[in-house]
């Protein structure tokens, strides 16, 4: 790191790439910034010379010191240079990466995921030189987020993609993420049991059941379900172009789904709409979904079930109905390998049930 850059980064993060001291769990504020709480809500002010005869008038800063606009405002008021001006910094690299044709070619859902974690990387190491990143720094970043191992792994994957992109462009010669293992995340999202699917139908608000039914009977991801339009439904068929994979599918609509579609008010070109009759935003849908998980629907949250589990429930139900791996893949758009993985779980369950029945019959004299 260049010596003239160091003070700027100590105001942005407490340690940069210095691993000598452990990070404190609380937010580190830069010099001359203090927090005032009003009715429990924090407000941040820049107050140079506070408490002295040379004190300057305090200036209100943006509300969240974890957000980039807070640090941008602080640097401007303190007349500090923008880290983007360092052509070897993470800020410069991220700006170049997100403007690249490689990034533009990604699926929209992948871009959104990358942008979410690139924001974390930017907030953590904005002005630091990319060449200074070591495996130990990656490990520290992963472990800082270990309470949510899936997100921690996704953060490292995003950083790894950024490092790989940087190598042929001269930012560094290797990928330090290659030395950091993923955290264990268990077996993944669980498929929904039918009793909780029925709980949504019986006790959930109509919009929630419409979304549940559309996901369950088509086996599609949340983003694709929210994007479905009435024009995609024709003569009992649903035409789907998956955002993540780009696959184009034609799915025969289940009779129960056709019955549900007939009940949904057509207030928009989109099939699924909010209570105002307007298309869902993704954040709005997720917020409303979480808010609805109370009372009879609380077990959904308590059992750690997420919307994506409806896609898994669709796969498991198709397999248990006797569909082949190829037939299931034709509906969900998943790889045969992924469907085979679920198939092994379903077959194990069937084989175990058959084995117990044979055991019981043998004990009863073969009756």
Q: Is 331 among the domain residues?
A: no
Q: Is 350 among the domain residues?
A: no
pLDDT at 19: 43
Q: Which helix (H) or strand (E) holds 38?
A: strand 33-38
In the predicted model, residues of the chain with pLDDT beneath 50 are 1-16, 18-25
Domain final residue, candidates 286, 307, 328: 307
CA 227 from centroid of its chain's CA atoms: 18
Return the SS3 of 45.
strand
CA 330 from centroid of its chain's CA atoms: 26
Q: How far is CA 325 from CA 251, 305, 337, in A?
A: 16, 24, 9
* H-state helical runs in the chain: 6-12, 68-77, 90-98, 101-104, 108-125, 135-144, 149-166, 194-203, 206-218, 222-227, 255-263, 282-292, 298-302, 308-320, 325-332, 336-363
- Residues 296, 218: one domain? yes
DSSP secondary structure letter of residue 303: T
pLDDT tens digits for range 220-238: 999 999 999 999 999 999 9
pTM: 0.57
- Residues 93, 178: one domain? yes
Report how many domains make up the chain.
Answer: 3
Q: Which residues pair with 241 in a beta bridge?
A: 248
Q: Is 276 among the domain residues?
A: yes
| Rounded distance between C-alpha atoms, residue 75 and residue 47, angstroms | 14
Ramachandran angles phi, psi of 129, nearest 5°: -70, 130
- Residues 199, 269: one domain? yes
Q: Is 346 among the domain residues?
A: no
Cβ atoms of residues 133 and 125 within 8 Å = yes
pLDDT at 275: 92
pLDDT at 68: 63
| Rounded distance between C-alpha atoms, residue 343 and residue 216, angstroms | 18
- Residues 73, 177: one domain? no
| Rounded distance between C-alpha atoms, residue 196 and residue 292, angstroms | 13
| Rounded distance between C-alpha atoms, residue 355 and residue 316, angstroms | 21
pLDDT at 20: 43
- Residues 31, 51: one domain? yes
Contacts of 232 (CB under 8 A, 6+ apart): 238, 239, 240
Domain final residue, candidates 20, 51, 81: 81
Q: Is 255 among the domain residues?
A: yes
- Residues 158, 206: one domain? no
Instruction: Tally the residues of the chain.
Output: 367
**CATH number of the domain within which 260 lies:** 1.10.443.10
- Residues 101, 134: one domain? yes
pLDDT tens digits for range 236-270: 999 999 988 889 999 999 999 999 999 999 999 99
Q: Is 106 among the domain residues?
A: yes
Would you state the structure tokens that stand for residue 252, as one six-digit string? 């025969």
346 class by beta-carbon count within 10 Å (0-12 exposed, 13-18 middle, 19+ buried) = middle
- Residues 217, 286: one domain? yes
Domain final residue, candidates 186, 216, 250: 186
- Residues 169, 235: one domain? no
189 class by beta-carbon count within 10 Å (0-12 exposed, 13-18 middle, 19+ buried) = middle
Q: Is 345 among the domain residues?
A: no
- Residues 74, 98: one domain? no
How many CA atoms does the CB half-sphere of 146 hold within 13 Å? Answer: 9
Domain that holds residue 264: 194-307
**CATH number of the domain within which 121 lies:** 1.10.150.130
- Residues 115, 155: one domain? yes
Ramachandran angles phi, psi of 25, nearest 5°: -70, -20
pLDDT at 272: 97
Q: Is 37 among the domain residues?
A: yes
- Residues 37, 140: one domain? no
Cβ atoms of residues 339 and 332 within 8 Å = yes
Q: Which residues pair with 36 in a beta bridge?
A: 43
Contacts of 192 (CB under 8 A, 6+ apart): 216, 300, 305, 309, 310, 312, 313
């Amino acid at each position: 790191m260049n010596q003239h850059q160091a003070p700027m980064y100590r105001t942005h993060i407490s340690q940069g790439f210095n691993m000598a001291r452990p990070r404190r769990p609380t937010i580190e504020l830069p010099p001359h910034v203090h927090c005032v709480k009003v009715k429990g809500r924090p407000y941040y002010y820049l107050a140079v010379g506070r408490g002295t005869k040379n004190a300057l008038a305090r200036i209100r800063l943006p509300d969240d010191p974890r957000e980039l606009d807070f640090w941008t405002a602080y640097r401007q008021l303190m007349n500090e240079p923008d880290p983007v001006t360092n052509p070897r910094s993470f800020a410069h690299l991220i700006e170049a990466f997100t403007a690249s044709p490689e990034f533009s070619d990604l699926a929209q859902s992948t871009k959104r995921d990358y942008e979410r974690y690139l924001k974390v990387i930017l907030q953590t190491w904005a002005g630091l030189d990319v060449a200074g990143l070591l495996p130990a720094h990656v490990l520290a970043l992963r472990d800082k987020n270990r309470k949510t191992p899936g997100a921690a792994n996704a953060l490292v994957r995003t950083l790894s993609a950024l490092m790989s992109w940087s190598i042929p462009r001269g930012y560094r010669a290797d990928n330090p993420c290659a030395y950091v293992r993923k955290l264990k995340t268990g077996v993944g999202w669980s498929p929904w049991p039918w009793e909780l699917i029925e709980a949504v139908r019986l006790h959930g608000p109509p919009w929630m059941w419409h979304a549940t039914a559309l996901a369950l009977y088509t086996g599609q991801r949340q983003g694709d379900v929210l994007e479905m339009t009435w024009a995609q439904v024709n003569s009992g068929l649903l035409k789907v172009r998956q955002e993540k994979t780009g696959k184009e599918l034609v799915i025969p609509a289940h009779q129960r789904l056709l019955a549900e579609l007939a009940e949904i008010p057509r207030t928009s070109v989109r099939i699924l709409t909010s209570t105002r009759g307007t298309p869902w935003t993704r954040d709005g849908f997720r917020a409303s979904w979480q808010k609805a998980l109370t009372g009879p629907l609380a077990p959904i949250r308590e059992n750690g079930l997420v919307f994506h589990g409806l896609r898994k429930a669709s796969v498991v139900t198709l397999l248990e109905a006797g569909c082949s791996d190829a037939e299931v893949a034709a509906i969900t758009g998943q790889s045969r390998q992924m469907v085979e993985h679920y198939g092994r779980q379903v077959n194990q369950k069937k084989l175990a049930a058959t084995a117990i029945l044979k055991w019981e019959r043998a004990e009863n004299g073969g009756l």
